[in-house]
Amino acid sequence: MVVNISNTSLILNTSTTPTNLAEVSKLRGVALGFELVTCFVGVIACCIAHYCLKTCEVIQSGMKIQLQILFTADFVICLFLLPGHAAIEYRILSDVYKTDKTSATVFMYLYIVATQSERVTVMLIAIYRMMAVCFPLKYRYWSQKKLVVLVNLIACSPVVLLRIINHFTKDDSGIEAFDPNNYFIDRLTQFGFVSAPTVITLIVYLVMALFMLFKKGSISPPDSCERAIRIFILTSTLFEVPDIIIHAAKVTLKEPAYIIIHVIYRIHFVVDPILFVGLNARYRQMVYQCCSSIPVQVALTVTQGEVTL
């Protein structure tokens, strides 16, 4: 009797596992469709953001370089890397990932390098914004073109270096190689170049918000800057903090929570350029003038603080 029960339970377990994988595969298919739409919107938003950067002559040159780096990374991710990465995940969960693994591995490495460098760049932009608000004199020095380029190179070079080390030390013999929870160096890069920059960015924006709050009644940034900072805090919390939580909980690639949270997380590639344009009156005016044949009659006043942020 005991043997029969064990055999029955074993049969049930083996019969339910494929069903669960099939359901996860369907969920990944829906997520893939949503992410393709997201990427399409992201490409358009990045093009508009680049147009605003190229047209506007008021923005400080160092910040302009950083934003160009950010939106170029977002553009490449949305146009090429994210759709391919999502398609590879779908193939893995559909059990059709059997051929051309070398090219897929290289492709995913490029995606990881691009996304982690993008997160580091977002962190640096937040730090520079805080310097512009809290320490204007230091900001003028550190926002010189050569220093900005050097800071970005120093901050992003470990991402490439660790990925090269990972390529020669990691066993890519199975699908498990794509799960960051299975290898120490993948966990290190995940928390070091995605989670940590996200936390630092959030802390920096909170410091800026507190600084503006205590500066009320004296010389302080305009209300539009305060509104922008609050929105940045909200979007960072909604789109990026859940990703930190699932990686800390070691949720695997084949769990529905992993798919859903990553769909939410990847929305920030679209949100960043949209917020950049939407929260600045000058850039909104540029877009309106570009898209409409009717001249803008209302003069928009833009302070130097808003242009900087």
Lowest model confidence (mean pLDDT) among 53-57, 178-182, 220-224, 265-269: 220-224
Report whether 242 contacts 265 (CB < 8 A).
Answer: yes
Amino acid found at 124: L
State both tokens at 164.
């090269």
Buried b (16+ CB within 10 A) or exposed e, 214-235: eeeeeebbbebbbebbeebbeb
pLDDT tens readout for residues 71-130: 999 999 999 999 988 888 777 777 655 556 676 777 888 898 999 999 999 999 999 999
Judge whether residue 219 has pLDDT over 60.
no
State both tokens at 100.
């051309």
Judge whether residue 217 has pLDDT over 90.
no
By CB atoms closer than 10 A (0-12, 13-18, 19+), residue 9 is exposed
pLDDT of amino acid 49: 92
Nearest CA to 109 among 182, 194, 167, 52? 167
Handedness of CA 116, 122, 125, 126 (dihedral sign): negative
Distances (CA, A) of 37 to 42, 263, 270: 9, 12, 11
Domain 24-308 has CATH 2.40.30.30: no
